[in-house]
Amino acid sequence: LAKTTQPISMDSYEGQEVNITCSHNNIATNDYITWYQQFPSQGPRFIIQGYKTKVTNEVASLFIPADRKSSTLSLPRVSLSDTAVYYCLVGDSGGGYNKLIFGAGTRLAVHP
Amino acid sequence: NAGVTQTPKFQVLKTGQSMTLQCAQDMNHEYMSWYRQDPGMGLRLIHYSVGAGITDQGEVPNGYNVSRSTTEDFPLRLLSAAPSQTSVYFCASSPHEAGAGTDTQYFGPGTRLTVL
C-alpha cells in the first residue's frame, strides 16, 4: 500500500486560504487520493477524493499534478471551525475491501 | 438515518475483564470496520468485514474478536482487557462501489475505553 507524508501541523488565521500538501511517491496506477477530516472527539469524515488534475466540492479543492506523486488539499477562507486533523490517504477499492492507512495526519489550527 | 452508532461512549475496565463494544449501521453497507486511535496518532485497522458471515484481520487484531451475523451489526469483543488496549475505538461502514476509487467510510462517534 502506498505511504503518504504530510506536515505534522499547520497554523492559519480566519479568512485565509490553507493548502496542505501530501507526498505519495509510490502511488499505484489504480490508486485514488482521498482526504478525511477529524474534529476532536469525533470520527473522521470524508472530505474529497480525486484521481488526477483538480476536483472541487462545496468544502475543498484537491489539486493533483500530472505525475500524481503529491496532492494538495485547499481550504478556502478557513474559519475557526476548520480546526481539525486532516488525513491524506491513497488506495483503490477496485479489487475488494480497501485497507485505508491513516497516518498521523496534519493538525490544522485556525486562529482568530 | 442514524448512520453509524456505537455504544457505550465511555467505558472503564479492569485488567482481565471482557466486554463487547457495539456497532450498528442503518445504511445497508456491505463493509464494516473497527479501528483504534491512540493519542496523537492516526487510526489503525483492527478487524473488518466485507459482508454478513465474513470477517478478516486488520493491522492490529490481537486481543480482539469480531463476528458479523447481520448486515447491520458488527460487535468488537475484548477477551481479556489489558492496559495496552486503552484507546478510542471507531467503527466505520462503507458501501462497496468497485471502480469508484476508495470506498467512502462513514465513522461512528467512537468509544473511549480505559483499562486500569
The residue of chain A with its CA nearest to that of B112 is: A41
CA distances from A17 to A46, A76, A78, A79, B9 (A): 20, 4, 6, 10, 35
Residues B39-91: tens digit of each pLDDT: 878 889 999 999 999 999 998 999 999 999 999 999 999 999 999 999 999 99
* Å between B54 CA and nearest CA of chain A: 12
B97 touching A, CB under 8 A? yes
Do A44 and A38 touch, CB atoms closer than 8 A?
yes
Residues A51-102: tens digit of each pLDDT: 999 999 999 999 999 999 999 999 999 999 999 999 999 887 666 677 777 8
| Per-residue confidence (pLDDT) for residue A100, from 0 to 100 | 76
Taking a contact as any Cβ pair under 8 Å apart, which residues of chain A between 6 and 35 contact chain B?
Answer: 32, 34
Cα–Cα distance, A51 to A36 (Å, whole number): 15
The set of cell numbers assigned to B13 is 475496565
Residues B45-55: tens digit of each pLDDT: 999 999 999 99
Cα–Cα distance, B85 to A70 (Å, whole number): 34
Q: Of all helices (H) and strands (E), which one includes residue A107? A: strand A106-111
Burial class (CB in 10 A: 0-12, 13-18, 19+), B17: middle
Q: Which among B56, B92, B102 has the least Cβ separation from residue A34?
A: B102
Question: Up-side HSE of residue B114: CA atoms within 13 Å toward CB?
Answer: 4
